[in-house]
Structure 1
């Protein structure tokens, strides 16, 4: 990913240049100085190591052939003392074995002489961008977008737009592939809006089966169906005055789309089993990775609802479209996860960061987080190695759940499956699970599952049976 001589990303970065050819050294110092870098020049590996004791640069650029200790030996010494300091080697034309060995040992990159000036500046800019902290202006930015770690122009434009949109009450549709951070952007919009002090509530329309989704969104009254033993406030009421994120809106069943449209038009919800509507004041943000135009064309998504939700569209870039953020995100996640796993961390080896920035990332930021969690959990040294990153990238990165969380998730999905199969009949479900009924009821209670909602005739006007139940209130 060529960035041109973008020394603006790291203003006045300090470079240490090592070459025994005085003319070459002068030329390099001149070129790099005019590109905006502070340059310290030395003529040998020994002088370079002495200079490193005085002042640590952001990058070392060294010739491979040096009197006494050569460039590779210098690199080994630098790696031992300053493991995350990037090193670029210059090698004479034709000494390819040197170059191969250098990159195998973890040198950031090498260039053959005579080198191309633009290529050298590009490589330096890339190496500095990998290890550079976020610019002070972005660090000083307001807390509303503190969860969104980024230095890319693409994200800067998106955030500027999101901030403007946040001031209004317009409905926002967030588009973007899975894992691009749609919920995080929705939270940021809420925090930047006049509704920031009121609740932000997110519901995944694709994860909750239809009969439950209706009760989840709009609530139900006592006696609306079997097991409706108390009134239940839906998420619209819970989010009153605040923001409601309808995630994966493209997966909402058509019957519920009609009811949602009515709520948006009337600004009031009618809980299941109630004849009374309750006024609600909620800002709607919806999100989808599906192409809603295609869904409308095949009558899977209502056009009138689409235009009601899509007043403003914001599109999140894939991680591959904001590669300059990868190193920043990886370091941010590593610091967070090292604390979680109680590990000492001195960051990624430069070549490990380089591998991360060049990977494909079909699962976007979520996949990057999972990969970093994997390497952090498995790392036995403070510096994360290239080998560990390559291993994590080769194996599909799974979400790392604790045993207790994985067990909890399985248990819930298992119970939902049983209730669907038995049409909400607890006695039958308990028999299939080979558990007594009291114990089975206790399990349902633990997971806030309401058997009555799984009956085919769950409630007047309710849709087919399904699986979630009680809102987080």
Structure 2
């Protein structure tokens, strides 16, 4: 339940009396003597109510109402008026004020109005949050592609974790999209407008690692020309993505652990501590605890990084997503290269579905680009099929069902007619492949 109230009144006795009433009733209260101060310090999406006097020096209550309406039309504003201001207050309610209270008013009258206003504010903010989550889900669906159960789970996890101030460890094979997932955790969270700094730990020479991560002062070591801001400091208020974290030298692991614990750094050659606020997202292929047991990684750092863990499936573990992904990468490559996107034959699709894709999504994207350029097929003829005939048939069937559902936007009768399937058979196949009609209803063209 929301319980925040901002009180704006130039008369100290009124501010103090209202504060006492509201505090005793369990409200969180902030006091301002001038409207200008309230405007300057009001946070975005303030989860509460503004209670303001009408007649004040400088900006008065009506001007404050107008300014607040420009920032958030749904923010409840209750005006405190003298007897002669009642007609003015009624006009203000037509302009968006939630309520007005004529002085002198009783604590019961004030509390009743505030509670009603807070209930309305709670509904507005809940509705906004639902719309924002739906928008984020649509944007994420268009970024982390795939309708397989594992990808649907991954997207839910990303949406759940992105707003939380916790470190995340991403595990997955090379080419499985770890940096893209890290970027989504950043872009869909409260740090989205702050820096996202990616560091490939395997690509930095060990002797330069500390300077790269922490920065240095001029002359800190041979060749240190001028002061340099390190990656961690540059990412202040944002996110640092440490890819291939298992490659970080042990000496630097100790220093990173200290940064996580103390939230401050020291540049090389400096004794001054600098406070930083960064969210750390790390990515690894091996299990960090296995690396710790082998003496190659600090166990305490592994636990610090792995507050939450996301596991990315290999492409061979979600073969039903391959046709969609290949089509997506083909369209991208065709647009970039000024070519036409190829149409796959059944034989070509079979090759796509049978290949093991050791390079995962990255390898598939490269194959799509080669196909657009006409250099070779989506998967070479000589590649041995990694799946049984039954598994390939199942994957192809899931692709056909999904394509028909998408084309007909979830219209079951149209899908039955196209695929020449009775209703019961279609239902059984959709259930076996975990296809839900509602997932395709929203896939409408922009002009539809």
Look up the SS of the partner of 2:162 in the other structure.
Answer: helix
The 5 A counterparts of 1:169-318 are 169-318=165-314
Answer whether contact 2:145 2:325 (CA < 8 A) is retained. yes
Among 351, 355, 358, which residue is 2:347 paired with?
Answer: 351
Q: Distance in 1 between matches of 2:280 and 2:149?
A: 27
Look up the SS of the partner of 1:216 in the other structure.
Answer: helix
The answer for the alignment partner of 1:8 in structure 2 is none
The answer for the alignment partner of 1:31 in structure 2 is none
Q: Distance in 2 between matches of 1:271 and 1:146?
A: 40
The answer for the alignment partner of 2:377 in structure 1 is 388
Whether 1:335 aligns to 2:331 is yes
Q: 1:162 to 1:343 in 2, by over 3 A?
A: same
The answer for the alignment partner of 2:156 in structure 1 is 160
Q: Distance in 2 between matches of 1:245 and 1:390?
A: 32
Q: Distance in 2 between matches of 1:376 and 1:338?
A: 6
Look up the SS of the partner of 1:391 in the other structure.
Answer: coil
Look up the SS of the partner of 1:206 in the other structure.
Answer: helix
What is the CA deviation profile of residues 62-88 of structure 1, one whole-angstrom value per residue up to 9, with x for unaligned ones?
A: xxxxxxxxxxxxxxxxxxxxxxxxxxx
Return the offset for 1:345.
2.1
Answer whether contact 1:375 1:392 (CA < 8 A) is retained. no
Q: Which runs of 5+ in 2 are unaligned?
A: 1-133, 385-448
Answer whether contact 1:145 1:188 (CA < 8 A) is retained. no
Return the offset for 1:145.
5.4
TM-score of the superposition, structure 2-length normalised?
A: 0.54
Q: Distance in 1 between matches of 2:139 and 2:255?
A: 36
Q: 1:391 to 1:359 in 2, by over 3 A?
A: closer
Answer whether contact 2:370 2:377 (CA < 8 A) is retained. no
Whether 1:369 aligns to 2:369 is no
Q: Identify the structure with bigger relative contact order (alpha carbons < 8 Å, sequence gap 6+).
A: 1
Among 301, 320, 326, which residue is 1:324 paired with?
Answer: 320
What is the CA deviation profile of residues 99-133 of structure 1, one whole-angstrom value per residue up to 9, with x for unaligned ones?
A: xxxxxxxxxxxxxxxxxxxxxxxxxxxxxxxxxxx
Q: Distance in 2 between matches of 1:248 and 1:375?
A: 30
Q: Which runs of 5+ in 1 are unaligned?
A: 1-137, 380-386, 396-473
Q: Distance in 2 between matches of 1:235 and 1:393?
A: 45
Q: Distance in 2 between matches of 1:378 and 1:139?
A: 38
Look up the SS of the partner of 1:275 in the other structure.
Answer: coil
Return the offset for 1:158.
1.3
Answer whether contact 1:144 1:191 (CA < 8 A) is retained. no
What is the CA deviation profile of residues 200-219 of structure 1, one whole-angstrom value per residue up to 9, with x for unaligned ones?
A: 11101111111212111111
Q: 1:350 to 1:242 in 2, by over 3 A?
A: same
What is the CA deviation profile of residues 391-449 of structure 1, one whole-angstrom value per residue up to 9, with x for unaligned ones?
A: 38759xxxxxxxxxxxxxxxxxxxxxxxxxxxxxxxxxxxxxxxxxxxxxxxxxxxxxx
The 5 A counterparts of 1:425-440 are none
The 5 A counterparts of 1:23-62 are none
The 5 A counterparts of 1:402-413 are none
What is the CA deviation profile of residues 304-348 of structure 1, one whole-angstrom value per residue up to 9, with x for unaligned ones?
A: 111111100110011011111100110000000112221122432
Look up the SS of the partner of 1:189 in the other structure.
Answer: helix
Q: Distance in 1 between matches of 2:244 and 2:325?
A: 25
Return the offset for 1:139.
10
Question: RMSD of aligned C-alpha atoms?
Answer: 2.2
